[in-house]
Amino acid sequence: MVKPIRLRTALSSLLVSMACGDDLPPAQGGSSTGTDASTGGGTTAVVDDGSGTSTGEGSTDDGGPLDPEDLEWPLLECDPLVPEYCAFPFPSNVYTVPSDGAITGRSVQLPMAPFTADPNAEPWTWSDGFSPAAGITTFMPGATATGLPGHDDIDASLADGSPTVLIDAETGERIAHFSELDYSTDDAERRALFIRPAVRLPPARRYIVAIRGLVDAGGALLPASPAFAALRDHTDLPEEPSVEARRELYGDIFYRLGQAGVAREDLQLAWDFHTASDENTTGWLVHMRDEAFAELGASDSPPYTIDVVDTMWNSTDFLYRLEGTFQAPLYLDTDYPATGRLVHGPDGMPVASGTIDVPFWMIVPRTAETEPAALLQHGHGLLGSGSQIEGSHFREMATQYNYVVFGVDWIGMAEEDYLPIAATVSATGATGLAVLTDRMHQGALHQLLAMRLAWAGLAEDPLLTGLIDPDQRYWYGISQGGILGGVYMATTTEVERGVLDVLGQPYNTLLTRSVDFEDFFSLMRLAYPDPLDVAQVLLSLQMLWDRVEPEGYSHRIIDDPLPNTPSHEVLMTAAIGDHQVTTLGAHNMARSAGVPHFDSGLREIWGLPLVSDTHMGSALVEYDFGLPPDPACNRPQSACTDPHGRLRRLPEARDQIDHFLRSGEVVNFCAGGVCSFPDEGMCAPGEMTPDVCE
C-alpha cells in the first residue's frame, strides 16, 4: 500500500510545533475516547475506538439496515479502499471516534499517518463531524470525466444513471451535486475526483457516497480496489482486517443505496460520513460575540480614541477622514500576526485573555451637514485593510448617497497577514494556515464590535454630533468582504440589511477557480509535489475554515437565525465571468441561504426560484460583462478583462444597492431590465472560446 509519506512528515512536524504547550479541547460537548493508530506488515491497522468494535473480525451477515445507535466504524490509520492514496476517500466516518456529549455522538480523529504525530493536540479533533461543504474526494486511477454531472448540468446528478451518487442515509434522498476531476494540476495521472454538493449539507447528518460506471480513456469500466471488491462481493481478504471489521456497516450502506436505486454489483466505491453540528461549527464565534456584547450592555460603545482628524483630505467633498482605535477583548494568546491561537477554557469555549486595540478608519461626507448620514461598514477584499474605504468607489458612494463609511481589518485575512501567510506556505505548506482561522475568529469579533463603536460611540462624539443617523446602519462587503460578510450577516445583532458583492462559498470550491491563488498554489506545490496531497490539505483546511467562512453560517442568515440573533436580509451581487470569485460560489451561497434569483434578464440558475419586477427581501442578482462561459473544469476564468472590480462601479448596481439597503426592496435599474455590459469586458474575438481544460 502506497502511503502519503511527504504529507505525513510535513504535517507531523508542523502540527506538533503548533500544539506545543497547549492544552487543547476535544470536540465541543464531549471527550474523545479514541486511541493512537499503528500499522504493521503493510496492512491497515484497525483500532479499537472504544465502541466495542472488534479488531479484524466482524459479522458476515451484512444484508440489511442498522439502527443509528448500532452503527460502528473502525478507526483506521489509512483506508485500503483507495490503496493508491489511502487518505482517501474523504471525508469518512473511519476517521471519527465516539465522543460523549457531542451532538453527533462522534468526534473527528484524523489519522496519525497523514496528518499529525499527536492526534490529541490537532485542531481537527475539536470537530464533531466533517465539513457541510464536504468537498467529497477520492482517487480513481485512470478515471475520465465521461458521464460525470457537471456544474452546468446539476440535474444530471439526480438522474438514475449518474456515476456519482450522494444520499441522505436516513431519508434516502438524493443530494444534488456536480462532479469533476482535478484540473488544477497538469499531472493527469494524479487527478482527484471531487463531488461537490450544490448546496451546503444540513448539519449533524449521515451521508452515503457511491460511485459506479466510471470509465478509463478506452471506455473500459474501472475496477474496484481489492478491499472494496471484498466488501461488495462477500469475498475474503485476510491480509486486510478492516474489511471484516466493516462487514456489518457495509451491509447497511449497500442496503440504503439499494433502496435509493443504486445496485450493489455496479459499485466501484462507496462510503459514509457525518457532517458537523451547527453548534460545533458556530459555537466559538457566537460565544465570543455574546460575551463581548454582554460586557458592553445594550447600548454602550467599546472604549475608543480618535488619533487622526484630517480635514484636508478631499476637503471639497469630505468633512473628515478619521483614524483611531477601539478596545476589544482578546481571545488569542497574542495579537502578533500569524501566531495567535485561541485560548480555550475547560468547556472548550474561547476565553478572553486581555484586550487589544483595533484600528479603524472613517470618512464623513459634507452631505452629512445637510442630513445625518447612514452608517455603511465596509468589508475589505482579500488580504486588504479597513483603510480601503479611502478608494474612489467608496468616496463616490459616500458623497452620492450620503453615507459615513468606515472599516476595520479582518485579521487573519488582512494586509498584515500577507507576508506571514506566504512564509507559512513556503515553509510548511498550507496546513500552517490553521493558525489563521483562529485569528479570523478574532477578526470577526472586531467587525461586529466596530458597528457598535460607530453608532453608540462615534455618532455621539462631540466631533460628529448631528452628522450620523445611528438608526441607519448597513454592511457592504466586497470580494473577501462579500465572502466573509456571510459570517457577519449571520452573526450581527446590530445590522438588519447588508450587501455581499462578488461573493461565494466554500473556499474549497473557490480557490482553484481563482486567479488570486495561483501564487499560493505555486508555493503549495513546492511543499507538496503530489497533487493528491494538495487536495487533501485543502479538504482538511475546509473543516477549520467552516468556523469562520460562510459555509458554516449562510443557512442561518435569513431563516432559523443563530441563538440570540435576529433574522437578516442580504442582497448578493455577482459578476458573470469573475476571474477571482467564481459565480458557482455565489450560487451555492444563495441556495444555502434560501435566497431567490432576481431576474436581470440574463440566465436561469439551477435551484434558485426566479423573482422579477420589484422584490421585497433578499435576492441574488447577476451582472454580465460579455465574457464566455466559465471553464467546465476547476480552473480560473481568464478570458477578457476581469469584471470582479467593475460591478461595484456601475451606476445601475450602485443605485440598486442603495435602494435595497434603505428600503429592503430589490429593483432592476438596468436599461430594459437587462443587466448586460459587454463593452466593460473588452473581449477580443479569440478570447470568447478559451479551452483551459485541456
What pLDDT does 396 receive? 98
- The confidence band for 111, taking pLDDT boundaries of 50, 70 and 90, is confident
Q: What is the mean pLDDT of residues 519-536?
A: 87
Give percent of the chain above pLDDT 90: 79
Is 83 strand, coil or helix?
A: coil
| pLDDT tens string 451-481 | 999 999 999 999 999 999 999 999 999 999 9
Query: Residue 91, preceding bond cis, omega within 30 degrees?
Result: yes
Between 213 and 135, whose confidence is greater? 213
Residue 373 DSSP label: E
pLDDT at 11: 36
Of all residues in the chain, what percent carry a pLDDT higher than 70? 87
Output the nine-digit C-alpha cell for 653.
448596481
Cis-peptide into 119, omega within 30 deg: no
Q: What is the pLDDT of residue 37?
A: 32
Mapped onto helix, strand or coil, the DSSP state of residue 342 is: strand
- Give the E-state strand segments of 533-581 in sequence order: 569-575
* pLDDT tens figures, 367-406: 999 999 999 999 999 999 999 999 999 999 999 999 999 9
Tens of pLDDT, residues 616-668: 999 999 999 999 999 999 999 999 999 999 999 999 999 999 999 999 999 99
Quick one: pLDDT band at residue 506, thresholds 50, 70, 90? very high
Residue 431's pLDDT is 56
User: Does pLDDT of 590 surpass 80?
Assistant: yes
What are the pLDDT digits (tens) for 3-15? 333 333 333 333 3
Task: Summarize the confidence of residues 22-38 as an average pLDDT.
Answer: 37
Tell me the pLDDT band of 524, cut-offs 50, 70 and 90.
confident
Give pLDDT tens digits for 408-431: 999 999 999 888 877 776 665 555
Count CB-CB contacts under 10 A for residue 186.
8
Mean pLDDT over each residue of the chain, to the nearest integer: 89
The arithmetic mean of pLDDT across residues 674-694, rounded, is 84
**Pairing mode of beta strands 497-501, 468-478:** parallel
| Its pTM surpasses 0.85 | yes
Q: Phi and psi of 606, rounded to 5°?
A: -60, 135
pLDDT (tens digit per residue) in 436-448 = 899 999 999 999 9
Label the pairing between strands 597-598 and 610-611: parallel
CB atoms within 10 A of CB 40: 7
Residue 182: is its pLDDT beyond 90? yes
**Residues with Cβ < 8 Å from 238, sequence gap 6 or more?**
none
Q: How far is it, in rounded angstroms, from Cα 384 to Cα 363? A: 17
Contacts of 203 (CB under 8 A, 6+ apart): 129, 132, 275, 276, 277, 278, 281
Predicted confidence at residue 686, as pLDDT, reads 73
- pLDDT surpasses 70 at 132: yes
What per-residue confidence (pLDDT) applies to 420? 80
Closest CA to 489 of 543, 542, 547, 562: 562
Give the per-residue pLDDT at 135: 85
Residue-wise burial string across 469-490, b where 16 or more C-beta atoms lie within 10 A, e elsewhere:
bbebbbbbbbbbbbbbbbbbbb
Listed residue (440, 446, 321) closest to 390, CA to CA: 321
Closest CA relative to residue 44, chosen from 90, 83, 96: 83
Q: What ranges do the domains of the chain cover?
A: 5-33+65-276, 599-694
- Euclidean distance between CA atoms 76 and 94, whole angstroms: 6
SS3 649: helix
d(CA 284, CA 330): 13
Could you tell me if residue 380 is left (phi over 0), alpha (psi between -120 and 50 degrees) or otherwise beta?
beta
Give the model's pLDDT for residue 418: 84
